[in-house]
């Protein structure tokens, strides 16, 4: 191997036996073998990796840590939160099947269930999950899934997970719970009886607004079915984004403790402000805290444009959960795809503001919001 180009391409591969303190980034699309027999060993279970779409150590680490935090036996990573939700649903439902979902789920989930799954022949009925009779009335012979969120987006209704699990079991339904807002630090839906728990790891698991990722975990038979969908549809997560999300997960508890404490102080202050009509913040989500999201309705006479223009260092974004405090406008972002009637049904208006509280000093967050409300 004397030529320059050959030496440049093949370089000097390091031994694979070094014990790195942090999992390396396996930034490779494929894994190599020393013989045809060794490659054949992959298919008989002697080797774990072949092709990154099928499996990668970084994605597996993210799935494993999330499953461990949720107290679930298995997990699998996906390219986004919606990717994880899609894989979870398709692990259970097929064309001709039916879901019953909470009406107040995240707008992107609402659209996917209503429109995209309908194209596949899977129909969804959206009902008020605080009314068990409404859920009961929505069930059909072809219903296979009950779908909800542990804390709903954006109005932070805390789901009665134990009741939902009991209801799902009674009707032989698979319970899927999106635990993105609560995170396993505050709530573990699997312990309450959920069959599948999904996360947009883009949010609190990643925690730093620098990754797009999803994870689902739960009963092994559903996770393995979801893994098959992820592999064969191409919903896999890249090695680098998996690595970033794993790094973020290490500080999940620390961040949620701080952000929840800040959110509680901010919510209490907002309740005293004349330019704020309503404040939505859970009061009894967990002994560890009530989450880092606060949603408000500005007063009827408040100017929402003036509020958003006067936020200073608080950025306007279409998402949530970074270490920085941000705000979003659900009417024009997360719930934009809903019809006016659907927005009204879930309570989203032009006066709705969702605040994602960060790790700054609570007094500084309140100071910026005070400035914005004075200009609203």
In a domain, 11, yes or no: no
Q: Where is the domain boundary, 187, 217, 249?
A: 249
178 is catalytic: yes
**pTM reported for the whole predicted model:** 0.95
Residues 241 and 258 in one domain: no
- Identified catalytic residue from 53, 103, 219, 370: 53
221 catalytic per annotation: no
Residues 210 and 292 in one domain: no
Tell whether 276 and 238 lie within a shared domain.
no
Mean pLDDT of 316-329: 96
Task: State the total domains in the chain.
Answer: 2
In a shared domain, residues 84 and 185: yes
Do 220 and 316 fall within a single domain? no
Decide if 128 is catalytic: no
Q: What is the pLDDT of residue 15?
A: 64
pLDDT tens digits for range 247-273: 999 999 999 999 999 999 999 999 999
* Whether 210 and 272 share a structural domain: no
Euclidean distance between CA atoms 235 and 232, whole angstroms: 8
Are 97 and 214 in the same domain?
yes
Clarify whether 49 is annotated catalytic: no
212 pLDDT higher than 90: yes
Domain boundary among 249, 280, 312: 249
Q: pLDDT digits over 44-64, tens only?
A: 999 899 999 999 999 999 999
Active-site hit among 60, 97, 104, 178: 178
Which residue among 26, 97, 104, 106 is the active-site one?
106
**Of 205, 233, 249, which closes a domain?**
249
Statement to judge: residues 241 and 268 lie in one domain:
no
Amino acid 79: pLDDT: 98
- CATH code (residue 173): 3.40.640.10
On whether residue 130 sits in a domain, the answer given is yes
Q: Is 70 exceeded by the pLDDT of residue 16?
A: no
Question: Are residue 127 and residue 196 in the same domain, yes or no?
Answer: yes
Which residue segment(s) compose the domain that 293 sits in? 252-374
The single residue of 26, 147, 190, 203 carrying the catalytic annotation is 203
Q: Is 328 within the bounds of a domain?
A: yes
Q: Where are the alpha helices (DSSP H) in the chain?
A: 4-10, 36-43, 57-70, 81-90, 107-111, 117-119, 132-138, 161-170, 183-186, 189-192, 220-233, 239-249, 252-270, 304-309, 340-346, 362-374
The pLDDT confidence band at residue 4, using thresholds 50, 70 and 90, is confident
Smallest CA-to-CA distance from 61 within 185, 232, 201, 195 is with 201
Average pLDDT taken over every residue of the chain: 95
pLDDT digits (tens, 9 = 90+) for 159-183: 999 999 999 999 999 999 999 999 9
Do 228 and 256 share a domain, yes or no?
A: no
């Amino acid at each position: 191997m004397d030529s320059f180009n050959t030496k440049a391409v093949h370089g000097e591969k390091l031994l694979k036996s070094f014990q790195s303190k942090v999992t390396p980034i396996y930034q490779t699309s494929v894994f190599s073998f020393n013989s045809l027999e060794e490659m054949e060993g992959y298919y008989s279970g002697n080797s774990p990796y072949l092709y990154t779409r099928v499996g990668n150590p970084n994605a597996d680490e993210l799935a494993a840590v999330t499953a461990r935090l949720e107290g679930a036996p298995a997990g699998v990573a996906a390219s986004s939160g919606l990717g994880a939700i899609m894989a979870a649903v398709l692990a259970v439902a097929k064309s001709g099947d039916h879901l019953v979902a909470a009406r107040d789920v995240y707008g992107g989930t609402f659209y996917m269930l209503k429109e995209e799954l309908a194209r596949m022949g899977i129909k969804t009925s959206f009902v008020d999950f605080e009314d068990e009779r409404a859920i009961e009335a929505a069930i059909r012979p072809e219903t296979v899934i009950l779908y909800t969120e542990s804390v709903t987006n954006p109005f932070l209704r805390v789901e009665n997970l134990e009741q939902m699990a009991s209801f799902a079991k009674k009707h032989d339904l698979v319970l899927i719970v999106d635990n993105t807002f609560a995170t396993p630090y505050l709530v573990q839906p699997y312990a309450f009886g959920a069959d599948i728990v999904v996360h947009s790891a883009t949010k609190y698991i990643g925690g730093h607004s620098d990754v797009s990722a999803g994870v689902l975990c739960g009963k092994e038979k559903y996770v393995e079915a979801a893994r098959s969908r992820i592999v064969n549809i191409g919903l896999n997560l890249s090695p680098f984004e998996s690595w970033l999300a794993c790094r973020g997960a290490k500080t999940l508890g620390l961040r949620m403790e701080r952000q929840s404490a800040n959110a509680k102080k901010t919510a209490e202050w907002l309740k005293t402000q004349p330019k704020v009509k309503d404040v939505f913040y859970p009061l009894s989500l967990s002994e560890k805290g009530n989450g880092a999201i606060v949603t408000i309705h500005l007063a009827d006479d408040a100017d929402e444009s003036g509020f958003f223009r006067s936020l200073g260092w608080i950025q306007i974004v279409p998402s949530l959960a970074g270490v920085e405090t941000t705000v979003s406008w659900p009417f024009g972002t997360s719930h934009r795809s809903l019809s006016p009637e659907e927005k009204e049904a879930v309570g989203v208006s032009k006066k709705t503001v969702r605040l994602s509280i960060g790790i700054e000093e609570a007094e500084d967050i309140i100071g910026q919001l005070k400035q914005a409300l004075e200009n609203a």
